[in-house]
Structure 1
């Protein structure tokens, strides 16, 4: 496939979050997040920031985040801040962003 110099402004990435459940077993959860594409110059600026600061600048949306009843939770500042308060979710998002830039994903 030919490489297109012009790219979309955003892209989606699957994020997997591992949490210890009430039984003490690790439970895997996933959702899709939309990241802004960044130039190399912008990435250099982001390297000096905290994970939370990076995410606040590059995350533009999500799908697959639900409440206890399975209803979709909309992406907005309040809900995003609540997600970032969950250490495993915040870590998975930061890891997912940086890996999406440098690691070629295999097709399933």
Structure 2
């Protein structure tokens, strides 16, 4: 397949959110994230700032992590409200979704997984 050089590359990838339930069990819910591929230097700069802030200022670290998520996640399918109505993607709904650390982790994990070569992903999972 020929590689096409584009100004901005986007992709869709499953985001799996694991949540605790009663009696020490967990449940995994999934939605499809619409992602924007960041240039390596931009991603590394944002990620480094977040890591450095972790040891000094957790509020700043949370702001930086949300800023990274809002740069890479541009939409979604499969996020619903308590009445099972689709929740439209917006800055406000993304911020509401990201109030839970497990969701932020799931989004950044999905982004990282998408960029990992399939062979490495299979080896890491023991396949």
Judging changes above 3 Å, is the alpha-carbon distance between structure 1 residues 39 and 14 closer, same or farther for their aligned structure 2 residues? same
Query: Which residue pairs with 1:92 in the alignment?
Result: 106
Kindly report which structure 2 residues correspond to 1:47-58, keeping only aligned pairs within 5 A, or say none. Answer: 47-50=47-50, 51-58=65-72
RMSD (CA atoms): 2.1
Distance 1:9 1:35 in 2: 9
**Richer in helix (by share):** 2
Kindly report which structure 2 residues correspond to 1:15-26, keeping only aligned pairs within 5 A, or say none. Answer: 15-22=15-22, 24-26=24-26
CA offset digits 1:25-80 (Å, max 9, x no partner) = 21110000111122223333233243322111111101100011111000011110
Other structure's SS at 1:71 match? coil
Compute the TM-score of the two structures, normalised by the length of structure 2.
0.71
Query: Which residue pairs with 1:27 in the alignment?
Result: 27
1:76 to 2:90 alignment: yes
Distance 1:71 1:35 in 2: 22
The number of residue pairs the alignment matches comes to 105
Compute the TM-score of the two structures, normalised by the length of structure 1.
0.82
- Deviation >6 Å, runs of 4+: none
Question: Which runs of no fewer than 5 residues in structure 1 stay unpaired?
Answer: none
Query: Is the deviation greater in 47-56 or in 65-74?
Result: 47-56
Question: Which runs of no fewer than 5 residues in structure 2 stay unpaired?
Answer: 51-64, 123-127
